[in-house]
Chains A and B, each alone.
Chain A
């Protein structure tokens, strides 16, 4: 039971952000995004993720 719960937790944690963060208008080109932030003088939020 615990193992199943652990597996479920891992599955959720590793789920692609698109499934759970689909509404935020993400910049998907990091180099461009950081240049955009620099040009606008704004902070950026970097969401490092992997779709495994």
Chain B
């Protein structure tokens, strides 16, 4: 494989038009369902799937130019029905947040979260806060909650994108219950924004 393809600036830019997902199969049993579903025979294997998870094609030519073209062709046929709400990763969000001058809000979800329901409801509840923060989805595992100094999920941790080490000193740790009214989270996010402007 041309390992450099995914470091190529044009490929990186094209990858923003689709959802690039890294499926780490390093440990035995990791992502076994996905490997079985797509009949993965070796590594690396790169596949394109549509929004319903149906395979479109496997990436054959892994030269940067070919990868870029393939992504563009597929993105053209699957342009999306709504703008992204969730960022791809905390690292990416912090980098973008620094450029866009926006803080990052890490949403720590409960174990049995209904992703589709959350992705529909949360942006509606947040209102224009969706434009003031970059939102990242993370699992509220026991380890994650401990690292953030939180007792339970759901919770939101607000990070200052311009801080030297944003995760080290979060701007706010917002705990709430799933059945709380949106105001609970919204007011706390507003306070976090105010404290950042000081």
Chain A interface (Cβ within 8 Å of chain B)?
A: 12-15, 17, 19-52
Contact = CB atoms under 8 A, between A and B. Distances in A.
Interface string B49-92: 11111001001000000000001001101111111111111011
Contact of A43 (B4, B31, B49, B84): B49
Chain A contact residues: helix, strand, loop or mixed? mixed
Given A13-B1, A38-B51, A47 B15 contact: no
Contact of A32 (B16, B18, B137): B137
Contacts of B115: 31-32, 35-36, 39
Contacts of B99: none
Contacts, number: 192
Contacts of B178: none
B47 interface: yes
Which are the 7 A-B pairs with shortest beta-carbon distances?
Answer: A21-B6, A41-B81, A25-B92, A20-B3, A33-B21, A35-B115, A43-B78
Contacts of A41: 51, 78-82
Contacts of A48: 23, 25, 31, 34-35, 38, 40, 43-47
B79 A44 contact: no
Nearest to B92: A25
Interface string B1-36: 101111101011001111111111110000100110
Contacts of A30: 21-23, 31, 34
Contact of A42 (B18, B137, B139): B18
Contacts of A36: 19, 84, 86, 88, 115, 119, 137
